Amino acid sequence: MRLFGTDGVRGKAGKKLSAPLAMRLAMAAGIYFRRGSKTNKIIVGKDTRRSGYMIENALVSGLTAVGYNVIQIGPMPTPAVAFLTEDMRCDAGIMISASHNPYYDNGIKFFDAHGDKLQESDEEAIEAIYFDDEMIETNQKVEKEIGASKRIDDVIGRYIVHLKNSFPKDLTLSGMRIVIDTANGAAYKVAPTVFSELGAEVFVINDEPNGFNINKNCGAMHPEGLAKEVVKYRADVGFALDGDADRLVVVDERGEIVEGDKILGALATYLKKNDALAKSKMVATVMSNQALEDFLKTQGIELLRCGVGDKYVLDEMKRNGLNFGGEQSGHIVFGDYAKTGDGIASALQIAALMLRSGKPASEVLSPFELYPQQLVNLEVSKKIPLDQIEGYEELLQNITAKGLRPLIRYSGTENKLRILLEGKDAKVLDTTMQEVVDFFKKALV
């Protein structure tokens, strides 16, 4: 059984992600982190799901059982936990969240002492301990070695100051009208406070979490409501966060949802013009539109691509010593200010870009046009490795010969083949997609 997925441990709370599993996972993680312990402290944050209470208590039980002292900070964004782990000199940080998933799911994400997401080797080591009954048994503490826990409610101030310090000192948001959708999630207090204290006129929606309404028809996954509010209030821009505030979707002053790749392109050029883009390079995933890469070339910026997931964006950034990257889905990483995707920090940089340019969001956040794309999710009866399918290499050559970019991969959770084709000619795209679908229907269905 594999516990960790692409972003921590995630599943339906009370079923796949049960209290006993969380407690044992906390023991395993505690045993692992103790090997390099410096402070014997671990910080635990969560989003606003009802199941967070159950999982938080289970984690605290597991960590204190193996001797760790735990700091509980309550509902806070994922990037806040990453920041506070390092800022408060903890051995590790834990965030309880299933990000953009519905309320009935939950998840557990780990950060190391530097606030970075764990490497796969770390996760594998924790899993090995989890399944080792003897190690779990022998590492449980007794008497004075049992850990303690305490809840601290004022750390929100540290994170707010950190975010405000990421905003240029010579700028103010005074005069800007901004609508923020906090998705009834972890940033329902932090986000409005930051923008208000920097001078903006702020209108907040979906900031009344009840444990069950996180991400429900709101936030980054459903920005349509935000778009209406931006038009209603005649706002300059709208920002939609997801449940744990590591993702951002932007709505311009016309109520139009801005494509993520366009935002990445606009921010990369903004950083370069201000001599703030390390090595004139940035990272995006294989899902980003080719038009982004072509546009960046005209700006003297090189695009490095990686696998899907902000974790892989971060790995590629670290490997190459870069400070900017992201996914078109809304995870944007400013390495100078955050150790992971941070929706609020990203929104502040977009506001700074708008102020410096003196142009409306619709203009400054749309520096190029995207190439047409088609995505087909094909249900398959078997998952034969693609390179073992007869004629597959010839198919790829045929696609690229037509000037198209293919991205073909199996779903990690469903019996589906995801086929993405992209190119400048929509007609060629149509006919080629049909050919590709027919090919895989014969091979896999």
**Where in 213-345 does DSSP place strands (E)?**
237-241, 248-251, 281-285, 302-306, 324-326, 332-334
Rounded distance between C-alpha atoms, residue 5 and residue 331, angstroms: 18
Strands 149-151 and 69-75: parallel
- Residue 393's contacts (CB-CB under 8 Å, 6 or more residues apart) are 387
Query: Length of the chain, please?
Result: 445
Q: Are 381 and 415 in contact (CB under 8 A)?
A: yes
Active site residue 166: no
Report H helices in 284-333: 290-298, 310-320
Q: Is 399:421 a contact under the CB 8 Å cutoff?
A: yes
- CA dist 182 and 218 (Å) reads 8
- The one catalytic residue in 18, 37, 51, 99 is 99
CA distances from 356 to 144, 257, 271 (A): 57, 21, 12
Burial profile 405-431: b = 16 or more Cβ within 10 angstroms, e = fewer: bbebebeeeeebbbbbbbbeeeebbee
Q: Are 210 and 156 in contact (CB under 8 A)?
A: no
Q: Which residue has the tokens 């960046």?
A: 296
DSSP string, 103-138: TTEEEEEEE-TTSPBPPHHHHHHHHHHHT-HHHHHH
**DSSP states of 392-414 as a string?**
HHHHHHHHHHTT-EEEEEE-SSS
Q: Do 208 and 219 contact (CB within 8 A), yes or no?
A: no
Supply the residues annotated as catalytic.
99
